[in-house]
Amino acid sequence: MTTVAAPQVPARLGRFVLRMFRPQVYVTYGLLWVLALEGSAVAVTGTAWRPSGATWVRVVSVVLALLFLRMLDEQKDLAHDRVHHPDRPLVTGAITATELRGAMAVIAVVVTGLNAARSATDALLILAAFAYGLFLAALENLSPAVRDRQLLNLAVTYPVQLLLGGYVYGSLVAAGTVTANWRGAALLALCACVFLHFEFARKAAWEAPPGARLYSAGLGPRRAAAVTAGFAAGAVGCQVLLFAAQGSPLGLLPCLAAALPALATRRFLAAGRGPWPSVAATGFVVATYLALAVRAVLLP
């Protein structure tokens, strides 16, 4: 058992975060996701939207929740990583499970406090995401099928993302900023399609290296490509449903981001080898969420 002096822990955690929770990726994703979801939720009511102090509480809460879940993933994937990823921090001893659990406890307290200062509803909504993540860790430990079957695992793990989206939207409803209606469900479906497009894209390839957990291994590369492209199409469909009736054709400009998955699908199928073009998948997430946030500011 590794013993670490307390003064060393912050530096060790910092190195873990920089490697396994790259700020340029995860912080950017959390920021754009919250701004796009909150901005669109307000904009579809015809009201001008501007970020507020509450917006930044939601951004910080979602980013820290993603870090909490990443730390949890590192622990529940330890057995797999020992075989297939021996350089991971938890495997090498660069960080310990005790350090990660301590950091997770601090994150939970900080996020709960931030949200409880606004409302009990906000605190309960974000805690639901934490609780579901912990439930998943226990479930994967008990069920080899949930742990090892990729599509089943996705079916039971994705709701944690839905809970985080529900936290953002529910917080707006609790504050009286928006009224809960079908548009909220459509916005959450839009975010789900954007996330799932990226999720399938990053785990789609014509070849499956040893230890790789790919959706294409079970579905086949062509069917995986169809599902990946289908989620991008679903994101466009949700935007048309939400914004087409608002009168301005500029409101549908975020849909232009769909050119990226369209080109990536064509390239992937034509190549017949290699992984899905990762730049296109990342670009679709960034372009869609950034365009939605800008749209909410410019076209209330």
Mean pLDDT, residues 244-263 taken together: 83
pLDDT of residue 60: 98
pLDDT of residue 299: 75
Q: Report pLDDT digits (tens) over 194-224.
A: 999 999 999 999 998 877 789 998 899 999 9
pLDDT of residue 247: 62
What is the DSSP annotation of 221-249? Answer: HHHHHHHHHHHHHHHHHHHHHHHGGGS-G
Q: Rounded CA gap, 65 and 30, in Å?
A: 9
Angle 113-117-122 from CA coordinates, rounded to 5°: 80
pLDDT of residue 56: 97
206 is written with which tokens?
Answer: 């014509």
* Selected residue with higher pLDDT from 198 and 48: 198
285 is written with which tokens?
Answer: 């997430």
Q: Rounded CA gap, 116 and 104, in Å?
A: 18
282 is written with which tokens?
Answer: 């990342």
Phi-psi region of 168 (alpha: psi -120 to 50; beta: other; left: phi over 0): alpha
CA dist 225 → 149, 202, 208 (Å): 19, 11, 15
Domains, the chain, with CATH or none:
8-179 (1.10.357.140), 181-300 (1.20.120)
69 is written with which tokens?
Answer: 């879940």
Query: Is residue 4 pLDDT above 80, yes or no?
Result: no
Q: Name residue, tokens 């979602």.
A: 62
Cα 90 to the center of its chain, rounded Å: 22
Query: Is residue 1 pLDDT above 60, yes or no?
Result: no
Out of 29-43, 109-123, 144-158, least confident range: 144-158
155 is written with which tokens?
Answer: 């079916």
Q: Report pLDDT digits (tens) over 257-285.
A: 999 999 999 999 999 999 999 999 999 99
Q: Rounded CA gap, 88 and 101, in Å?
A: 17
8-state DSSP, 154: H
Chain mean pLDDT for the chain: 92
* Selected residue with higher pLDDT from 46 and 107: 107
Q: Rounded CA gap, 6 and 102, in Å?
A: 12
Grade residue 156 by pLDDT with cuts at 50, 70 and 90: very high
Grade residue 144 by pLDDT with cuts at 50, 70 and 90: confident
pLDDT of residue 111: 98
Q: Rounded CA gap, 6 and 128, in Å?
A: 31
pLDDT of residue 210: 75
Query: Is residue 151 pLDDT above 60, yes or no?
Result: yes
Question: For the packed helices 120-142 and 97-116, what is the interaxial angle rounded to 10 degrees?
Answer: 150
User: Do 288 and 231 form a contact (C-beta atoms < 8 A)?
Assistant: no
CB atoms within 10 A of CB 50: 10
pLDDT of residue 177: 95
- Sequence length of the chain is 300
Mean pLDDT, residues 143-147 taken together: 88
pTM of the model: 0.93
pLDDT of residue 3: 66
pLDDT of residue 135: 95
